[in-house]
Amino acid sequence: MKKYSKRLKYISLVSTLCLMASTSACGNKKESTTIDDNYRTTYEIFVYSFCDSDGDGIGDLKGVINKLDYINDGDDSTAEDLGCNQIWLMPVCPSPTYHKYDVTDYCDIDPEYGTINDYKQLIEESHKRGIRVINDMVMNHTSSQHPWFKEACDYLKNLPEGAEPDSAECPYFDYYNFSKESATGFEKLAGTDWYYECRFWSEMPDLNLDNEKVINEFSDIAKFWLDLGCDGFRMDAVTSFTTDDTDASTAELKKFVSAVKTLNPDAYIVGEAWTNSSTYSKYYASGIDSLFDFDFSGSEGAIAKCAKSKLKPIKYVQQQIDEDKLFSSYSEDYVNAPFYTNHDMARSAGYYIGKNATDSTKLAGALNLLMSGNAFIYYGEELGMKGSGKDENKRAPMQWGESGSEGMTKGPSGMDKIEMTYGTLEDQKNDESSIYNYYKKAIRIRNAYPAIARGKCAILDQLCGDRCAVWTKEISDTDSVILIALNNGKEPIQIDLAKSDDADGFKTLGASLSTGGEDAVLDGNTLTLPAFSFAVLTK
């Protein structure tokens, strides 16, 4: 961490000045304040529903390119972009389904989305703007139409009666989990006495990741994308690599991680282990950079509970401290991956009802962005998009404008009609009180203070209350330290900083953000926080 010290001083100073000043006062385009590490703010994109460039109603890679300036224009002196500095592309490889989590060719782009040349252009344009790009890697299973599976099936169908399969004759037989015995999660292979494992769906046969040849295939696949400029991978369904066996799944993940790190030590890898932290923490033993922090996500996660005042702020912070101890016991170099929602969850704006619903929707976004690590935002979350029930509803078109406007997609077939409470980007972009502009401000605060993403938390107990938490975040071996105060209640609160020696020296109100637009006030040792707000203090 010592390598950050001088760089952090510069970044904190420049970012804070630009945060406090107007856009014009920040001057012309200058050196980027992004630190080139894995502590980022990542924007998850479902290409199918994001932006359509050719009018066929389906999102594509050129559409993503057209909207890169929306995500980050690469110019720190502007305030027009969101400020995210990494994108995660949900699967882009050829597939028979709209979601593309059943791949038929791991080294190509689905024609609905474009071409390899489009992907190369996306990488080039993203990197120009300081945006890294990670691909979804579906290693647990393939499509039933993948050539590996089709060849294995043809081999078994033509196997003489009484003969045993021989991987020397058909190596792809051992790429999957075939059995003569029926079992839960297995499907009968038509025309044979064989069954194959397919835990998610009959058209998604599970791969045998205990087979070194399969791991080698995925090492070659990773090399293909890394050579094109891809910056890393999001690993799908790592808990399913070997069903009900965390140790085996971790070992299989470790083989892939090691292969990728040999190819490119700087490649970033984040894993989906949809379970509780006591279990997904174990996957850090694989050497993976990050794991999604599911305990904080969704309608019943710590973020949503704190946003609707059902979880005390101090518990929101303490849970982060407890996780840090747990995760670091498996990997000292782990980078947490907090997120609020994703493509498999109901959209967050539907979590709240009542007169404070908008406040909770906004505050939850900030609670995600105040966490250490690489924070993930699902496309449209910054607009307060809604969508629940069937998966298609959770993957609705990005709301650029009214239906039929430029870039709008038609969305997945079978999607229900969804009423978007908070409107489109066009509705929100000029409204300073909108969810969109709140997210932009929250991301800018995160970017302005490196300790938000990189610091370790320490609670100032004497300053905490039922609706208030105060904690510091400090980057080890540097002088980068901030104090954060949070009010998740409906009423303003005052905090007497003099009650804690650990608050001594925090005399500057660097930034504040409230859901209602009011500013925090620091008067001597008294900090006044508006309802549903947070503030960042510096020394």
**Cβ within 8 Å of residue 201, ≥6 positions away:** 102
Residues 171 and 318 in one domain: no
Alpha helices in 105-229 (DSSP H): 116-128, 147-157, 212-227
Q: Quick one: 408 exposed, middle or buried, by C-beta within 10 A (0-12, 13-18, 19+)?
A: buried
% of the chain residues with pLDDT over 70: 94
Range of lowest pLDDT (4-8, 246-250, 404-408, 479-483): 4-8
Annotated active-site residue in 118, 272, 295, 323: 272
Please state, in angstroms and rounded to a whole number, the distance separating the CA atoms of residues 137 and 233.
Answer: 6
Domain hosting 294: range is 2-139+212-450
488 part of a folded domain: yes
- Interval 209-235 mean pLDDT: 99
With a cut of 60, say whether residue 198 has pLDDT above it: yes
Look at residues 392, 418, 450 and tell me which one is the last residue of a structural domain.
450
Annotated active-site residue in 76, 236, 382, 392: 236
- Interval 114-129 mean pLDDT: 99
Residues 230 and 354 in one domain: yes
Sheet holding 86-89, edge to edge: 290-291, 268-271, 232-235, 132-137, 86-89, 41-45, 375-378
236 catalytic per annotation: yes
Contact call for residues 439 and 3 (beta carbons, < 8 A): no
Q: What is the pTM of this model?
A: 0.94
183 part of a folded domain: yes
For 139-167, the pLDDT digits (tens) are 999 999 999 999 999 999 999 988 999 99
With a cut of 60, say whether residue 31 has pLDDT above it: no
SS3 133: strand
Residue 404, pLDDT score? 79
204 part of a folded domain: no
The torsion angles phi and psi of 305, rounded to 5 degrees, stand at -65, -40
Please state, in angstroms and rounded to a whole number, the distance separating the CA atoms of residues 146 and 144.
Answer: 6
426 catalytic per annotation: no
Residue position matching structure tokens 């012309």: 28
Residue 505, pLDDT score? 96
With a cut of 90, say whether residue 9 has pLDDT above it: no
Range of lowest pLDDT (31-35, 125-129, 150-154, 314-318): 31-35
Residue 33: pLDDT band (50, 70, 90) is low
370 part of a folded domain: yes
The domain tally of the chain equals: 3
SS3 455: coil
Please state, in angstroms and rounded to a whole number, the distance separating the CA atoms of residues 296 and 305.
Answer: 9
12 part of a folded domain: yes
- Interval 78-94 mean pLDDT: 97
Residue 3, pLDDT score? 41
What is the CATH classification number for the domain harbouring 34? 3.20.20.80
Taking alpha carbons only, the member of 512, 493, 515, 529 closest to residue 356 is: 515
Residues 100 and 247 in one domain: yes
- Interval 176-196 mean pLDDT: 97
Residue 30, pLDDT score? 38
Residues 337 and 445 in one domain: yes
Residue 25: pLDDT band (50, 70, 90) is very low
